[in-house]
């Protein structure tokens, strides 16, 4: 009889590598839930610019500029998907468990970058064009 069976001790087994479908499902569940916060933060930044500099932005309230704003919002959401390749690659690596506990850092860094980019775009491209 095998010694490990007799003593009740079983040798350690390596964890099976994650399946791409499971990793993709996990990434979708994590990132799409946080997309709401991302959009709320960017919306608050745009609203703050409009409120804090109100008289200057009054001419921007046209249908054409509203459509432009929708295009810029869509582009911001396309940029949000840049987190997926990073997340999936790290989940498929040996650092999966550690990464899953710390990927909020990527969300914070990406959101901060988007806020800085939005502020730059408004201050440098949109604000001067209205004056």
- Interval 23-58: pLDDT, tens: 999 999 999 999 999 999 999 999 999 999 888 888
Q: Is 27:91 a contact under the CB 8 Å cutoff?
A: yes
End-to-end alpha carbon distance in the chain: 87
pLDDT in tens, 89-109: 999 999 999 999 999 999 999
Q: Which of the two residues, 112 and 2, has the higher pLDDT score? A: 112
- Which has the closest alpha carbon to 118: 67, 48, 27? 48
pLDDT band at 61 (very low <50, low <70, confident <90, very high): confident
Q: Domain map of the chain by residue range?
A: 19-130
Confidence of residue 65 (pLDDT cuts 50, 70, 90): confident
Q: How much is the mean pLDDT over the chain?
A: 89
Q: Are 81 and 43 in contact (CB under 8 A)?
A: no
């Amino acid at each position: 009889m095998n010694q490990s069976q007799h003593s009740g001790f079983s040798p350690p087994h390596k964890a099976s590598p994650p399946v791409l479908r499971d990793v993709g499902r996990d990434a979708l569940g994590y990132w799409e839930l946080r997309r709401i916060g991302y959009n709320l933060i960017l919306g608050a930044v745009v609203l703050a610019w409009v409120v804090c500099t109100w008289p200057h932005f009054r001419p921007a309230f046209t249908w054409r500029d509203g459509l432009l704003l929708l295009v810029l919002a869509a582009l911001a959401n396309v940029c949000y998907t840049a987190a997926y390749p990073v997340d999936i690659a790290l989940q498929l690596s040996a650092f999966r468990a550690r990464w899953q506990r710390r990927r909020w850092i990527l969300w914070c860094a990406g959101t901060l970058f988007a806020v800085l980019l939005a502020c730059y775009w408004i201050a440098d491209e949109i604000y001067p064009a209205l004056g």
